[in-house]
Amino acid sequence: MLNKVLAVYVGPAGYAIVGQFQNVVSIVVSLAGGVVAQGVTKSTAQHFDNEEKQHAIWKTAIRFSLISSLIAGIALIFVGNTLAQWLLHRPDMSTVFVWLALALPAMAASNLLLAIVNGKKEVGIYVSANIIGSLLVMLLTGLLTFLFGLYGALVAFAINPAIILCSTALMVSRRDWFRAKFLWGDINRTALRELAGFGLMGLASALTVPIAFMLIRDNITTQLGITAAGYWQASWKISETYLMLVTSTLSVYFLPRLAEIRNGFELKTELVKVYKFVLPLIVIGAAVIFLLRDFIITTLFTEDFLPIRQLFPWQLVGDVIKIAAWITGYVLIGRGMVKIFLSVEIIFSASFVLLSWLFVRQWGLQGVPMAYVANYLLCWPYMAYWVAREMKRMDVADV
């Protein structure tokens, strides 16, 4: 529904600008404390039998995030004009960065509450909060886009992540294990060290992936025009939408589960179980989307976006390989393999950019999904190698 509204009121070119701004939001939210969210989930699940340690983690994460939000917000206000010109190519849109700066503290609090809920394995709250938040986001974004066009859409995306805070806080407040006082206190040095590794991993993801996307999108705009960049953004959004069902499940179940595993055999068993369940679903999902691609494009967007159908074969193959690789990637996060995770994010974000630049010159817009496939064909075995080494290490340590 939301994609349809954006497609009708901003078109392919505007959709490319929305994609650029969403990447900016992703980076800024992560810099404002979102980088520790996965660490909060992992540590909350790991210390399931020690509420004192859990509360120390929560207090440290909240304090760190609010301080980071303040610093990031001030910086954003000062550089908003430059970002509007450089990234959006629309200097008249600079005030959307002020909206983003004002919303940062609420975004940070929302991310951490969801991370706590995930770590406590409160699946019902986690799913319900996201559903309610998504409905509110859809209504607000649709209304602002209808009233103010592209500017309204950007303002909505600036404040949307903060909206989920309302639904999450309301549901969490009814749980016996939660009190507001558990979130406020001094920074605990032990807890900070525990979160530091995940902060580095989160920072790597926060910077490398969105920056890679912005560079790819900017290159498409330069080589093929901003409308082509909008086509690629739309094809990526379709993948993002259906893959979210899998990645959300992995975040809710797999990441907390990894924190509990103590030996290599158990880890291997869990990996095999996840692969057997997830990969067939992704293959079936990709096949269905390919067969219904014209219907999906015109339903989610408009007929103006039909040229993206040429991107589907490579894009969907890339989706399957990506999920296969991500399953091993979650092990790197869950086992706290910081250096390896950092190398993955940096090396393969850079290679995606370079491959896309090369492939676009040779094959045009279709070169981007081709680069997507090639990149994950390189990334998956690299991560699998390190996961296999971690299993052996765990078995030796267990003995």
For the segment 20-57, what is each residue's pLDDT rounded down to a tens digit?
888 888 787 777 666 677 777 777 777 767 777 777 77
Q: What percent of the chain has pLDDT over 70?
A: 89
CA distance 304 to 107: 34
The conformation of residue 251, written as its DSSP 8-state character, comes to I
Q: Confidence band (pLDDT; 50, 70, 90) for 90?
A: confident
Q: What percent of the chain has pLDDT over 90?
A: 21
Q: What is the mean pLDDT of residues 209-236?
A: 90
Is 276 a residue whose pLDDT tops 80?
A: yes
Is 247 a residue whose pLDDT tops 90?
A: no
Is 398 a residue whose pLDDT tops 60?
A: no
Q: At what angle do helices 2-31 and 189-224 cross, to 10 degrees?
A: 130
Is 182 a residue whose pLDDT tops 80?
A: no
CA distance 311 to 340: 31
Q: What is the residue type of 213?
A: F
The backbone region for 69, taken as left when phi is positive above 0, alpha when psi lies in -120 to 50, beta otherwise, is alpha
- The kind and range of the H/E element at 211 are helix 189-224
Q: Confidence band (pLDDT; 50, 70, 90) for 354?
A: very high
Report the 10 Å Cβ neighbour count for 124. 10
Buried b (16+ CB within 10 A) or exposed e, 379-399: bbeebbebbeebbeebeeeee
CA distance 221 to 236: 16
Closest CA to 45 of 124, 122, 125, 120: 120
Long-range contacts of 389-397 (CB under 8 A, 24+ apart): 390/264, 390/267, 390/331, 390/335, 390/337, 391/264, 391/265, 391/267, 391/268, 392/264, 393/264, 394/262, 394/263, 394/264, 394/267, 395/263, 395/264, 395/265
Mean pLDDT, all residues of the chain: 82
Q: Confidence band (pLDDT; 50, 70, 90) for 4?
A: confident
For position 315, what pLDDT does the model report? 95
Tokens of 201: 């991993």
Is 319 a residue whose pLDDT tops 90?
A: yes
Q: What is the mean pLDDT of residues 148-172?
A: 79
* 375 touches 234 (CB < 8 A): no
CA distance 191 to 203: 18
Q: What is the mean pLDDT of residues 164-185?
A: 72
CA distance 117 to 124: 9
User: Which comes out higher in pLDDT, residue 170 or 156?
Assistant: 156
User: Which comes out higher in pLDDT, residue 69 or 359?
Assistant: 359
Q: At what angle do helices 226-249 and 2-31 cross, to 10 degrees?
A: 70
The tens digit of pLDDT for each residue in 117-154 reads 777 777 777 777 777 777 888 888 888 888 888 888 88
Q: pTM for this one? A: 0.77
* 65 touches 108 (CB < 8 A): yes
Q: What is the mean pLDDT of residues 324-351?
A: 86
- What's the angle, vertex CA 124, arms to CA 22 and CA 141, rounded to 5? 30
- Alpha-helical regions (H) of 261-337: 264-291, 293-300, 312-334
Tokens of 177: 């294990």
User: Which comes out higher in pLDDT, residue 233 or 84?
Assistant: 233
* 372 touches 318 (CB < 8 A): yes
For position 6, what pLDDT does the model report? 78
- What's the angle, vertex CA 318, arms to CA 312 and CA 324, rounded to 5? 140
What's the distance, CA 283 to chain centroid? Answer: 22
